[in-house]
Amino acid sequence: MKTRVISRLATGQASTAARYPADRRDLLTGNIADVAQLSGHGGLHAVSVARRHGVTTMFTLSGGHVFPLYDAAVKTDPPLRLVDVRHEQTAVFAAEATARLTRTPGLAVVTAGPGVTNSVSAVTTAWFNGAPVVLLAGRAPDYRWGAGSLQEIDHPPLLAPVTKAAGTEHETAKVAAAVHAAFRLAGSAHRGPVFLDFSLEAIYGEADADLPVSEPAQAQAPDEADVSRIAALLRTARRPVLVLGSDIWLGGAEVAARLAAQELGLPVIANGQARGILPRGHDLLVTRARSAALREADLVVVAGTPLDFRLGYGSFGPREAPAQVVHVADAPAGIATHTQLAASAAGDLSAFFTALTAELTGASPAMATPAGASPIGADPGWGPRLAEAVQAARAADAPLLASAAEPVHPARIYGELLKVLDEDAVVIGDGGDFVSFAGKYIEPERPGGWLDPGPFGCLGTGLGYAIAARIARPGAQVVLLLGDGAAGFSLMDADTLVRHRLPVVIICGNNGGWGLERHPMRAIYGYDVAAELQPGCRYDEVVRALGGAGELVTTPDGIAPALRRAFAADAPYLVNVVTDPEIAYPRSTTGV
C-alpha cells in the first residue's frame, strides 16, 4: 500500500527530486503541480484525499468496517492524528468543532450500523450550524447484502435529511473521487455535513486511481442591485442595527463586517461565533442591550445567521411600527421565507460587506457621499442611547458577578472567570441555564472562539468540542462550561482528554438538576418532575478516576483559587461548583 507520485511537474518539465543535483533543488520550488496516482486500498484513497483538503486529525471510534482508514492514517506521511473517543457522538462533535474553529473541514470516521446511528445527533448539530464536516463510515459488504450480515443497514436514508449529501461508494477505484466531492460540497457555502459510507469491498479492496486535483472554491458575489437596495435602506433608516452570526466567521468575513460596522457607524449585536468581531467594550457593540436595540430599531440587517427563534423569527421594532428587516446569507437557500423582508442578498459575505461599505462611503464611483456627511441616515442620538443602555446593563451585572451568596450564585462563577480569561480563549458552553448565564456575561475579545451548541440545542457537545478546541488552538485557554445534566452525556470522554494528553479546564455548574426544565415546568404546572439530579454529585471525582484532576467548590470565595489551580494544571481539570438550585435564568423566550 503506497501513494505513488507518478509525476511532479516543475516549470513545464516532468521531473523528480532525484533528477536534480543537491545544490539545484531550489528548482523544485515555485509553481509545482502535483499529479499523483493512488494505489492501495480504499482507506488509503480516502485518507489521501482528506489530507489534500487540509485534514490533519481523524476523530473516531473503532470498528472492523473502517480499519483500512486507520491503516492509511498511520501510514501516510505525515500521519493523520488519530483521536479515538468513547462515543461516536463525541467524534462527530469534535469534527464539527474542528471545522468551526479552523475553518477547514473536520473529519470523523465511524463504524457501520450503531457507529452511524450514534452519530446522528451530532451530524444534525453540524447541519444546523452550517459546519463543514465529512463523516466517513463503514458498511456491511455488498456481496452479502440482504442476507443479514453484522450491522447491515442502509445508512444514507437515515442521514439524508441532515446532510448536504449522503451516499455510498461501492468501488475502490471511485473512493478518491467520492471523498473529494464530499469535501468540496461540505466546504462550499452554505456549508454543512456530508455523509459517505463505503461497502466493505470498496474500503478493503485495492485499486489505482488519480488523486483528484483541488481547485479553490469559487465564491459567489452578491447581486449588485441587492446591495444597492440595502444601502438605500440604510441611508434613510433612523435607528439601524446590524446583527452578525456565525457564518460571518465561518465565511472569513469578520474583517469586512467589522470595517463596515465601523465605517458606517452601525450598532452591532453578535451571535455565536461572530461574538468578538467587535471586542468587549467597543462603543458600537450593543449585544448587552440587544432587547432594547431590537425593540426600538426601525431597520435590522441580519447577516450570517437564520431568522430563527433566537432572533424572534425576524420580528423587530415597536409593535405599532415594525422594523424593516434585511436578511443576508451566504447562499440563496439561507434567505428567510417565513417573514416579510425589505431586502435580501445572498453570496460571499465578505464581498457583501465590502460592496456595501464602498457604496455608502463613496469609495464606489456609483454613489459618492459628500465629505463630512454621515454615510447612513441614522439618528445621531441612536448609537449613544444604546451605548448608555449597555453601560446600564453592565452596571446592573456587577453585583451579581461579585455575589457573596451561599449557595453560590452561578453569575459569581463568571465574575471570577472573566478576571482570568485570556483574549484568545476558546469558551465552550454545554448545558441549560448555566450556559445562558455565560452567554450573557462573557463577551469574547476575538471572533471564532465561542462555541455554543447552536439552534439545534443538543446537550452533549461539551467534551467533543473541548477535545477539538485543545487540538485546534494549542496555545489558548480552553474552558468548557458544563451543566451537571449536560455532563452526563459526554463526561466519559474526559478519558479521551487524559489518554491524548489534552488539558482543558471544565467548570461544572452543579445545581443538582436540569435547571432549564425544572423552572419552566414549575411555571406551567406548579411542580416539577424528572428534573432532579444528585445534589453535589462529585463529577470532579469522575474526572479524577479517569486520570484527570478536579475539585469541589461550595463557597463563592473558593472559586478563584480553584480556577487558578485548574488553569495551572497540566491535565484535564474539573472545577465542580455547587450552585443554588433555586436560581433560574431570567428567560424571555422558550424557543417555540
Ligand X SMILES: Cc1ncc(C[n+]2csc(CCOP(=O)(O)OP(=O)(O)O)c2C)c(N)n1
Positions in the binding site for ligand X (CB under 6 A): 431-434, 457-460, 483-486, 509, 511, 513-517
DSSP result, 241-269: EEEE-HHHHHTT-HHHHHHHHHHHT--EE
Residue 484 lies near Mg ion (rule: CB under 5 A)? yes
| Complex with ligand X: residue 124 or 287, whichever CB lies closer | 124
172 binds, among Mg ion, ligand X, none (CB under 5 to 8 A by kind): none
* Nearest distance in Å: CB 431, Mg ion: 6
Distance CA 363, CA 353 (A): 13
From the list Mg ion, ligand X, none, partner contacted by residue 477 (C-beta under 5 to 8 A by kind):
none
Amino acid at 412: R
Exposure string for 241-280, b = 16+ CB within 10 A, e = fewer: bbbbbbbbbbbebbebbbebbebbbbbbbbbbbbbbbbeb
Locate 447 and state its grid cell: 471572533
Burial (CB count within 10 angstroms: exposed 0-12, middle 13-18, buried 19+), residue 43 = buried
For 103, 142, 165, 313, the CA distances from 192, given in Å and listed in that order, are 12, 28, 9, 22
Distance CA 429, CA 416 (A): 16
Q: Give strand ranges (E) for 492-572.
A: 505-510, 549-553
- Helix (H) or strand (E) holding 115, with range, is helix 114-117
Nearest-angstrom CA–CA distance, 406 and 385: 36
Among Mg ion, ligand X, none, the one that 450 touches (CB under a kind-dependent 5 to 8 A) is: none
Instruction: Closer to ligand X by CB, 433 or 551: give it.
Output: 433
Q: How many CB atoms lie within 10 A of CB 370?
A: 6
Q: Does 334 bind Mg ion (CB under 5 A)?
A: no
CA angle 295, 297, 299 (to 5 degrees): 135
Q: Which is nearer to ligand X, 93 or 450 (CB)?
A: 93
Q: How far is the CB of 587 from ligand X (least distance, A)?
A: 10
CB of 455 vs ligand X, minimal distance in Å: 11
| Residue 516 interacts with, from Mg ion, ligand X, none (CB under 5-8 Å by kind) | ligand X
* Residues 85-88: contacts with CB under 8 Å, at least 24 apart: 85/59, 85/60, 85/61, 85/464, 85/467, 85/493, 85/496, 86/61, 86/492, 86/493, 86/495, 86/496, 87/61, 87/118, 87/490, 87/492, 87/493, 88/61, 88/114, 88/115, 88/116, 88/118, 88/119, 88/122
Shortest Cβ 519–Mg ion spacing (Å):
11
Residue 353's binding partner out of Mg ion, ligand X, none, with CB under 5 to 8 Å set by partner kind: none
Residue 485 binding Mg ion, by CB under 5 A: yes
Residue 453 beta carbon to ligand X: minimum distance, rounded to whole angstroms? 8
Q: What, of Mg ion, ligand X, none, does residue 581 touch, CB below 5 to 8 Å by kind? A: none
Nearer to ligand X, 209 or 481 (CB): 481
Report in angstroms how near the CB of residue 401 gets to ligand X at its nearest.
17
Pick from Mg ion, ligand X, none: which does 459 bind, CB < 5 to 8 A by kind? ligand X
The secondary element (H helix, E strand) that includes residue 109 is strand 106-110
User: Torsions phi, psi of 245, nearest 5?
Assistant: -120, -175
> Residue count at the site for Mg ion (CB under 5 A)?
5
Which span (291-299, 457-465, 477-485, 487-495) binds Mg ion, by CB under 5 A? 477-485
Q: Site map for Mg ion, 495-534, x if CB under 5 A? A: ----------------x---x-------------------
Nearer to Mg ion, 443 or 484 (CB): 484
**Residue 105 interacts with which of ligand X, Mg ion, none, CB < 5 to 8 Å by class:** none
457 touches, from ligand X, Mg ion, none (C-beta below 5 to 8 Å by class): ligand X
Q: How far is the CB of 513 from ligand X (least distance, A)?
A: 6
Specify the residue, 40 or 513, whose C-beta has the smaller distance to ligand X.
Answer: 513
Q: Which of 204, 434 has the CB closer to ligand X?
A: 434
To the nearest whole angstrom, how small is the minimum distance from the Cβ of residue 486 to ligand X?
4
Residue 96 binding partner per list Mg ion, ligand X, none, with a CB distance cut-off of 5 to 8 Å that depends on partner kind:
none
CB atoms within 10 A of CB 436: 20
**By the 8 A CB rule, do 481 and 425 touch?**
no
- State the Cα–Cα distance between residues 84 and 63, nearest whole angstrom: 11
Residue whose CB is less far from ligand X, 228 or 579: 579
Binding-site member from 334, 483, 503, 556 for Mg ion (CB under 5 A): 483
User: Could you say whether residue 430 binds Mg ion (CB under 5 A)?
Assistant: no
Peptide bond into 561 cis (omega under 30): no
Q: Which residue is nearest to ligand X (CB)?
A: 483
Comparison of 458 and 507: residue with beta carbon closer to ligand X? 458
Nearer to ligand X, 308 or 517 (CB): 517
Query: Between residues 278 and 583, which has the closer beta carbon with respect to ligand X?
Result: 583
Name which of Mg ion, ligand X, none residue 460 binds, using a CB cut-off of 5 to 8 Å depending on partner kind.
ligand X
Partner that binds at residue 458, options Mg ion, ligand X, none, CB closer than 5 to 8 Å by kind: ligand X
Residue type at 64? G
Kindly state whether residue 579 participates in binding Mg ion, applying the rule CB under 5 A: no
Cα–Cα nearest to 359, from 228, 226, 197, 498:
228
- DSSP H helices, 133-237, are 156-159, 175-187, 200-204, 224-236
- Applying CB under 5 A, the residues found at the interface with Mg ion are 483-485, 511, 515
